[in-house]
A = this chain, B = another copy of it.
């Protein structure tokens, strides 16, 4: 192991070699700080009790699209806390400040957060208003139930696996167990991590397949989970019960 002192000196003298990261430092530094005021506007709705990966997975990928701004939006500006209360993401805009979006994404949450959003007329009215002008209105996980509560689901959708029958009985839409389901301009994604697959698909719709593939490599999305337990259709009842118990006990 290199000694700490040597390592530090090496680092300090090697900053000039930062291009070795493979990232074109010159290009990045030549940019004007801050995003252009125009360009594609992608908005992600945060609300109390959302699940962290639902908005942040898609935001990571979609923020790599050319000439695109991703904005976290909530009923009020400020930090919005997740279902476990472990983490807060900043909402940079309130819904009152956002009239138009090219793409809207509604993430999912645990029970408390999902029901809270489904019963919040300010959020539902805003979702409906924004949807009038979007190119794509999208959801991840139980975000589909919130789109349903806003009256925006059509014939087919996906959602979190454990919410499938609730989706069908409450909104009269057919649950399709795919990673994402497009029905008109509404695209719903399955649970939590499916937002990443949705984001790649959305990137291809917005900028074509080559850019989407570039983004996939940019985030090294070559998934190799150490286990093969993420599919509810093949999971045992015991594993489903364990998954739901882990969720319930981690949520506050």
Q: CA A98 – CA B208 in complex, angstroms?
A: 45
Q: CA A89 – CA B78 in complex, angstroms?
A: 10
A225 & B200 in contact (Cβ 8 Å cutoff)? yes
Q: CA A160 – CA B21 in complex, angstroms?
A: 8
A56 partner residues in chain B, CB cutoff 8 A? 52-53, 56-57, 60, 87
Number of interface residues of A (CB under 8 A): 130
Instruction: Find the B residue at minimum CB distance from A202.
Output: B226
A200 partner residues in chain B, CB cutoff 8 A? 225-227
A252 is contacted by which of B14, B33, B196, B245 (Cβ under 8 Å)?
B33
A194 partner residues in chain B, CB cutoff 8 A? 220
Q: Does A122 contact B (CB under 8 A)?
A: no
Q: How far is the CB of A242 from chain B (nearest CB, A)?
A: 4
Instruction: Find the B residue at minimum CB distance from A57.
Output: B53
A215 partner residues in chain B, CB cutoff 8 A? 243, 246
A248 & B1 in contact (Cβ 8 Å cutoff)? no
Q: CA A25 – CA B148 in complex, angstroms?
A: 20
Q: Does A96 contact B (CB under 8 A)?
A: no
Instruction: Find the B residue at minimum CB distance from A25.
Output: B111
Q: CA A145 – CA B20 in complex, angstroms?
A: 12
- 1/0 per residue, CB under 8 A from B, across A148-192: the answer is 111111100000111101100111100000010000000000111
